[in-house]
Amino acid sequence: MQERFEKILEGLLCQDGRAVLLAVSGGIDSMCMAELFRRTGRPLVVLHCNFGLRGAESDADEAFVRDWCEARSLPFESTRFDTAAYAAERGISIEMAARDLRYAWFARRSAFYGDAPVAVAHHADDNAETLVLNLLRGTGLEGIRGMRATRPLPGAGSLIRPLLTFSRQEIAAFAAAESLPFREDRTNAGTEYRRNKIRHQVLPVFREINPAFLDVLARDMAHFDEAARLVGAYYEEHMAPLAAGNRIRLDDLRAEKEWKYLLFRFLRERGFAPSVPEQIAGMLEENRPTAGHSFRSEGYRLVLTADAMVLEENALDDGLLRWTVPGPGTYFCGATAVTVSRGPVPASVRCPAGTVLLDADRVPFPLTLRRWRAGDWLRPLGLDGRKKVSDLFTDLHLNLLDKEKAIVLVQDDGSHVLSVLGLRIDDSVKVTGQTQSVLRISIG
């Protein structure tokens, strides 16, 4: 096994003498990997993640790996996570939370050591389990091409998987023959997690049907990987011109022969659930109205208009709904720049797009700006009575994203709006023959 392992390393590692960072949990797989690496004589640093999920057992795992490293004079680093809290805050599974946390830490340690590769102990059985998991949750070619022997880490460095062609059975045989110490994670024997159910209940059936199923799946995944590279080249060639900005014309998308795949992959890469491109494709195929539909992923907001898809990144300050403007200057209300100035009455009160003029004496500082909300109203110039801001948006044919970003000026944070910035003002603050000075407010 050692000879085969070292041959695999030749293809995974640059022979530049850099240290390799080993992700070691204390289980049989990672301890086998650590021992194989130790015998190569390469400079190593052992990394251990304590996810705090099993109390004293997690702490004992950390102590075990530390002691093993100290006995062999290997550098050891560990970190602790509140994995359960992280998962709850983001509404994700414990498995996904642990994955995000450890990979982010691996990337930081890799950067510290000059982009050193981080080795993890995924093996052939893990690869098969991942394939089945991806098929069950819904996936494209990316999900059935299997784990890569090497892949980039988020931000810095790379992840390598030198055990990917070894089976769990081979690893167990090596550990037994070499009397390797390791820790048993009692949760691995249960079926609480989906991966464990596949490991204990599904793969044994595959093995019964075909004892060589791991080799068969590995060959299939290699073919899928080749297909994925070809399809990826097609996607880049055809989607890049359409997605040059944040607006994709629906007619241009549908003019592409494989438009449904382009749509699926574009949205999947931005974190949208598979049901989102399915819904959009259904609307387009049946010529149903698209305007007004919106979707969210963790990082993006997608809005459909009558003729386009508009995509925007979720702003980190989306929760800010109200701002105070103490005096003239430029301010940022969310991602929108608002410039306020005060001056004499101009010869013409006609304003360029995005600018409004108000009687300054009727709108004293500090100004109160906020996002518009249901129930807001104003008295538009030249019209009798009130008009809901929502009706004004309808008259102006604003799409959902433009409506959501709209900022209004109010006097007491009530529902009476003095101006929808960049669009309209209330009759009570208009410039008249008695106006002494004006307030100019521009957005953009």
Q: Mind listing the pLDDT tens digit of every residue in the chain (444 residues)?
A: 999 999 998 888 755 667 899 999 999 999 999 999 999 999 999 999 999 888 899 999 999 999 999 999 999 999 999 988 888 877 788 888 898 999 999 999 999 998 899 999 999 999 998 888 888 877 777 778 888 888 888 777 899 999 999 999 999 999 999 999 999 877 666 666 688 889 889 999 999 999 999 999 989 988 998 998 899 899 999 998 998 778 899 999 999 999 999 999 999 888 888 889 999 999 999 999 888 788 888 678 888 988 999 888 765 444 457 888 888 988 878 768 899 999 999 988 888 889 999 999 999 999 999 988 888 999 988 777 889 998 898 888 887 778 878 999 998 777 899 999 999 999 999 999 999 999 999 997
- The CA distance from 281 to 260, in Å, is 7
- Asked if residue 281 and residue 210 are part of one domain, the reply reads no
- Given 219, 249, 276, the domain boundary residue is 219
- Asked if residue 135 and residue 60 are part of one domain, the reply reads yes
Q: What is the CATH number of the domain that holds 202?
A: 3.40.50.620
- Asked if residue 333 and residue 373 are part of one domain, the reply reads yes
Establish how many alpha carbons lie within 13 A of residue 54's alpha carbon, considering only the half-sphere containing its beta carbon.
Answer: 13
Structural domains counted in the chain: 3
* Sign of the alpha-carbon torsion through 210, 216, 221, 224: negative
- pLDDT reported for residue 187: 66
- pLDDT reported for residue 319: 41
* Structural domain of 336: 322-443
In this structure, is residue 224 part of a structural domain?
Answer: no
In this structure, is residue 235 part of a structural domain?
Answer: no
Strand 417-420 relative to strand 437-443: parallel, antiparallel, unpaired? unpaired
DSSP state of 86: H
- The CA distance from 66 to 77, in Å, is 8
Q: What are the tokens at 402?
A: 């433009």
In this structure, is residue 232 part of a structural domain?
Answer: no
- Asked if residue 168 and residue 52 are part of one domain, the reply reads yes
- pLDDT reported for residue 189: 62
Long-range contacts of 312-320 (CB under 8 A, 24+ apart): 312/246, 312/401
What b-and-e string marks burial along 152-188, b requiring 16 or more CB atoms within 10 Å of the CB?
ebeebbbbbbbbbbbbbebbeebbeeeebebbebeee
- pLDDT reported for residue 318: 41
- pLDDT reported for residue 314: 66
pTM: 0.61
Alpha helices in 117-212 (DSSP H): 124-137, 141-144, 168-177, 194-197, 203-209
Closest CA to 380 of 326, 419, 414: 419
- Given 219, 251, 267, the domain boundary residue is 219
In this structure, is residue 97 part of a structural domain?
Answer: yes
- Given 295, 313, 331, the domain boundary residue is 313
In this structure, is residue 355 part of a structural domain?
Answer: yes
Establish how many alpha carbons lie within 13 A of residue 190's alpha carbon, considering only the half-sphere containing its beta carbon.
Answer: 5
- Asked if residue 88 and residue 45 are part of one domain, the reply reads yes
- pLDDT reported for residue 173: 95
- Asked if residue 260 and residue 149 are part of one domain, the reply reads no
